Structure 1
Amino acid sequence: MTRQERRDPQRLRDPEVSISRRTLVHGLAACAGATVAGVSGALAQGSPQGPVAPPSTITSPPRDFSPRGAPTTYFWDPDIIAVDPSFNDLAQPNTAIKRLHTGLLWAEGPAWSAQGRYLLWSDIPNNRQMRWSEDDGHISVFRTPSNNSNGNSFDFQGRQLSCEHLTRRVVRYEHDGTATVLADSYNGKKLNSPNDVVAHPDGSYWFTDPPYGGQLYEGEPDVAGGPSNSGGKLNPRIGQPAGFVPGKRELPTNCYRIDPSGRVDLVVTEEQVPDPNGLCFSPDYKKLYVASTGKGPGDTGPGGKGDMFVFDVGTDNKLTNHKRFSDFMVDGVKCGPDGVRCDVSGNVWCSSNAGRAVGYSGVTVWSPEGKLIGRIRLPEVCGNICFGGPKRNRLFMAASQSLYAVYTATQGAGPG
C-alpha cells in the first residue's frame, strides 16, 4: 500500500481514481509478459489459429471490467450478443460496457434525473441511495438513511419516486425538498414492501408490493408472530431509531395504482402474478409488463417462477388479456427477470439473474412479441436497469455489487 493510499483509503475502493505508479509498472510488465508468451505460443504452433478472441465474462481468465483492465478495442463489445439480426439496430457497435462503480452490498433501483443529469440508485442493505454525476463521473451518497429503499423512478414533473422497504411505503420527493407519502396501506392494511414504481401520463403511479423487504438484510422482519417472524426469535427494532414501530405482513403480493386523487386501487392480484417485482409500460401505455420473481419471506405459496406477464391497459385503467410474456429460459438456463424497461420501439429490456450460470446474468432484450433478440453479459447478477444520459440512449445496469453502463442505438421510453 502506498503512502497516499494509507492517507486516503477511499482510493482503494473507488474505481474512478488513478492507480499508483507501482501498480501501473506491474500491470505493464504483466501485459508485456502475456504478449511475449502469446507470440511465442503462436509461432510454436506453426499454423495460424484465426483472430484472437477478446476477453469476456466467459473467458478464462474472465474480462477485467476495472480501469486496470485492457480496453475493449473491438468494434463489437464481446459481451453484447445479437441473438437476432434485429438487435443490430438497437446496439451501438463502437462502444463498450463500462463498470462505473463497485463496492456496494446490493445495487437496485437505478433512475435517471433528466434535469440534474445524474443517476441515482439504491444500495439496499447499506440503507442509502447513491448518485453518479454525468458531468464528471463523481460518485457520492445521495440520501442516507433511505429507509432501505429499493426501486426508484422520476415522474413527468421530474420528481423522484422511491419504494421503501423499511417503512413499507411509496414516497415522492417534491421540488421544495419535502417528502410526500403516496401509499403505505390498502384497505386499512399495511403494505408489504413496495418494490418498483412507474409513472403514468395521467398522473397516476403504479407499483408492485412483494414481501422481500421482510428480512433483516433488506428491511425489517415482521413483529413476533408475523409471517416472516412466526417464531418470534427476531427483534425487528434492533438497529432502528428510538420509537420505530415494526409492522406485520397483512396483504397478499399484489400490484396497485395510486390515483391522482390519492386513492389506491388493486390492479393485479397475487393469483395473476405471484411475487410481482419490476414493472413498466409500453411506449404507448397500452401494455403493462410485470416480472414475477421467486418465493419471498412469509410466502405460504410457491412464489413466482422467474417469468414475466403482460396485460392490456384499458382507457378505464382496467387490465385485460393477461398472459405470460416469456418464461426467460435461454439455452436451457433460467435468466430470471427483475427490473424492466421498454425502449421507444417497444422492445423489452430486462435485468437477468441466472445465478451461477456464467455468461447469462446481465440483460436480456425481447421484441414486443416476446422473442429474444439480444443479450448483454455481465460478471454479476443484474437486479435492475434504466435508460438515461442526456439523450436517454445509455443503459445503466445495477448489478449486485456494481454499477455498469453501455450506450445503445435506441432510447428509453418514458421518464426515469
Structure 2
Amino acid sequence: MQQPQDDAARIGRALPSRRAMLAGAGATLASATSAFGQPEPPSTVTTPPRDFRPGASPTTYFTDPDVVTVDPSFERYIVPNSAIRRLWTGALWAEGPAWNSLGRFLIWSDIPNDRQMRWLEEDGHVGIFRSRSNNSNGNSFDRQGRQVSCEHITRRVVRYELDGSATILAESFDGKPFNSPNDIEQHADGSYWFTDPPYGGQLYEGTPDEAGGPSNPQGHLNPRLGQPAGLRTNKRALPNALYRIDPTGRIDQVLTDAQVPNPNGLCFSPDHKTLYLSSTGKGPGDTGPGGKGEIYAFDVGTGPAVSNKRLFSDCVVDGVKCGPDGMRTDVDGNLWVASNAGRAVGYNGVTVWNPQGKLIGRIRLPEVCGNLTFGGPKRNRLFMTASQSLYAVYVNTQGAGPA
C-alpha cells in the first residue's frame, strides 16, 4: 500500500482554495435545516466536523450526509437510515480487510504493528488475530474458507489451511524473490492473482533491501533490526508485476510495471471475465515514473491471459485526484474503490463506479481509505480500512463473491 504523502504532495498547491471552498460549504451545511425543520446532520466537511466516535451524537436523520449520490442510479444502493460507523481505531496503517462468512468475523492487517486484527459480528469485539503477521498487507478468504495473506517481510504469499497449518503459495519467480506482495483475490477457476509492488521495501511497512539494493542504495539501513533470528533478507530483483498462481502451483507473470506501473489493488467482475487493476505512485527503489493513480480494466482469457487493456478511470473527482487502492465489485458489477485524496478533506473514503466507468456515488471518511470489502451475514455491509481505523456502513447490494 502506498502511503498518503504522495497524493498529498501532488495536490498540495491547490489546498488553500479547496479548504476555503469546503469551509464555505461546511458553514452552509451547518446552518441549513432539513425539510422537517431539524438541523442538517454534521459531515466530514462541516465546521466543526462530524464526530465519528461510537458515543458521539447521532449523525443521521435520513440518509447519512457522507454517503453522497453523484448519479441518480446510486440511490438504489443507499440504505437511508444506515449511518457510517467507526467500529475501531488504534492501527498505524490499516489494510487488507477480509470477511469470514462461516465465523462471521472480519480480519484486517495493521501493517506497521505487524499484526492482524479481528472484529466479531455478534458483539463488535476487536482483538489481535495473529501476531506476528510478517507485516501482512492484503488478505482474502478463498472459496474453501481458507485465509490467504500477502506478507511484506518474507516477500511471499501464504495460505492458512483449515487444520491450522500454513502453506507457502509463492515466494519467488524465476529464482528471484518478490518485492512485497500486496493484494490478492481468487479467480473462479481456483487460481490466485496477486500484485507485487515495492511498498513493503521500507522500514515502516516491512524491511528495506540489503545494502546496495534499490530501497537501501547506500546501505545505511539495517534490514535485520527488530526481526526474528534467521530472517532471510534480499535485494529487489524483479519488476513490479501482477502474478497468477495456478491450481497446479505454477506461477505466471501476467503483467509487468511496463504495462501497468505499480499495480496495487485488484478484483474481478462478478462473471470473472474482467480484471480491474489500480496503478498507484512510485514506491521505494522505483526508478520509473510510477503510476498516476488510475484504474485499468482487462479482458480475462484462459489461464494467465489478459487482453484489451483500457483506462477504466483516472479517478479525478471535482478536480481532485482520489488515488485508488483496494477495490471490490458488487453483484451488479459496480466497482467500489478505496480513495486516497491526501489532505483534500471530503474526498477520502470510497468512490463507486458503474461497469461503464461512470462515477455514481461516494462515501466520505475523515481518514485516507486504503482498502475495503463486503461482509456481514448477508454480505451487504461495506467494511473500510482507513489509516488508523475501521469503518462500516450498510448498503443495498451484496458483494460479488467471497473476499
TM above 0.5, yes or no, is yes
* Residues 248-263 of structure 1 aligned to structure 2 (within 5 Å): 248-263=235-250
| Structure 2 counterpart of 1:407 | 394
Aligned residue for 1:58, secondary structure, equals coil
Q: Does structure 1 retain, via aligned residues, the 8 Å contact 2:339–2:350?
A: yes
> By how many angstroms is 1:295 displaced?
0.2
Q: Does structure 2 retain, via aligned residues, the 8 Å contact 1:280–1:288?
A: yes
Q: Structure 2: how far apart are the matches of 1:92 and 1:324?
A: 31
| Structure 1 counterpart of 2:359 | 372
Q: Which has the larger radius of gyration?
A: 1
Q: Structure 2: how far apart are the matches of 1:124 and 1:73?
A: 32
Unpaired runs of 5+ in structure 1? 1-41, 43-47
CA 1:55–1:372 in 2, change beyond 3 Å: closer, same or farther?
same
Q: Does structure 2 retain, via aligned residues, the 8 Å contact 1:63–1:69?
A: no
CA deviations 1:150-194 (Å, max 9, x no partner) are 000010000001000000000000000000000011111100000
Q: Does structure 1 retain, via aligned residues, the 8 Å contact 2:294–2:315?
A: yes
Task: Give yes or no for the alignment of 1:237 onto 2:227.
Answer: no
Unpaired runs of 5+ in structure 2? 1-30
Give the percent of matched residue pairs that are identical in Structure 1 and Structure 2: 71
Aligned-partner residue type, residue 70 of structure 1: S
Aligned-partner residue type, residue 291 of structure 2: G
| Structure 1 counterpart of 2:341 | 354
> By how many angstroms is 1:206 displaced?
0.2
Q: Structure 2: how far apart are the matches of 1:130 and 1:49?
A: 42
Of 69, 81, 91, 1:82 maps to 69
| Structure 2 counterpart of 1:161 | 148
CA 1:191–1:68 in 2, change beyond 3 Å: closer, same or farther?
same
| Structure 2 counterpart of 1:123 | 110
Aligned residue for 1:338, secondary structure, equals strand
Task: Give yes or no for the alignment of 1:68 onto 2:51.
Answer: no
Q: Structure 2: how far apart are the matches of 1:73 and 1:342?
A: 26
Q: Structure 1: how far apart are the matches of 2:350 and 2:137?
A: 19
CA deviations 1:28-76 (Å, max 9, x no partner) are xxxxxxxxxxxxxx9xxxxx99752210101111000002311123111
Q: What's the TM-score once normalised by structure 2's chain length?
A: 0.90
Tell which has more relative contact order, 1 or 2 (C-alpha 8 A, sep 6+): 2
Q: Does structure 1 retain, via aligned residues, the 8 Å contact 2:281–2:292?
A: yes
Aligned-partner residue type, residue 76 of structure 1: T
CA deviations 1:189-234 (Å, max 9, x no partner) are 1000000000012110000000000000000000000000000000
Work out the number of aligned pairs and report it: 370
Task: Give yes or no for the alignment of 1:321 onto 2:308.
Answer: yes
| Structure 2 counterpart of 1:99 | 86
Runs of 4+ residues over 3 Å off in structure 1? 48-51
> By how many angstroms is 1:317 displaced?
3.8
| Structure 1 counterpart of 2:23 | none
Of 197, 216, 219, 2:184 maps to 197
Aligned-partner residue type, residue 120 of structure 2: S
| Structure 2 counterpart of 1:287 | 274
Aligned-partner residue type, residue 244 of structure 1: L
| Structure 2 counterpart of 1:383 | 370
Q: Does structure 1 retain, via aligned residues, the 8 Å contact 2:54–2:87?
A: no
